[in-house]
Amino acid sequence: MTGATIWLTGLPSAGKTTIAYELADRLRAEGRRVEVLDGDEIREFLSAGLGFSREDRHTNVQRIGFVAELLASHGVHVLVPVIAPYADSREAVRKRHQREGTPYVEVHVATPVEVCSVRDVKGLYAKQAAGEISGLTGVDDPYEEPETPDLRIESQNQTVPESAAAVHALLTERGLL
């Protein structure tokens, strides 16, 4: 069975994790092996001690990319809802997958910052606005949008099941399901 890494990148509160878990449920119902590498869990367990400097964010993304490729190369569909704000970091993960011959799909959850700040599931935008935190991706820290993602989802214009179905359709089209 062929695995693949499906990387969902986007701003905080864009809907990456919600879409990933919806898709994971669908794939599991089809009998597929699935893992979700949630960015918050990775930071707690695999990347504890890393901060949010450009270098630390790059290291975090590379660690996640390594684990994702390893799992995908063993037949797991790995869903990675992680901001990964820098294009060069995401490209390095893509190249690792290409070198290993492991399928990789990049999905840009292209939710506008105005929508994300209203959703604000973790309260990050409110904390940034209050001056309690800085370095919030897409507000006072850069987010380099993917120029040519395999799929772009505007989550503000469709339901979570519709977004997950769009990713599922892409995977089917690419022969990854």
Q: Residue positions in the annotated binding site?
A: 10-17
> What's the distance, Cα to Cα, between the start and end of the chain in Å?
9
Q: Where are the beta strands (DSSP E) in the chain?
A: 4-9, 34-36, 77-81, 104-109, 151-153
Binding residues for ATP: 10-17
Strands across the sheet with 151-153, in order? 34-36, 77-81, 4-9, 104-109, 151-153
Q: Tell me how far apart the alpha carbons of residues 177 and 172 are, in angstroms, rounded to a whole number.
A: 5
37-60 core/surface letters (b: 16 or more CB in 10 A; e: else) = bbbeebbeeebeebebeeeebbeb
Q: Tell me how far apart the alpha carbons of residues 92 and 140 are, in angstroms, rounded to a whole number.
A: 24
* Amino acid (one-letter) located at 70: L
Q: How many residues does the chain have?
A: 177
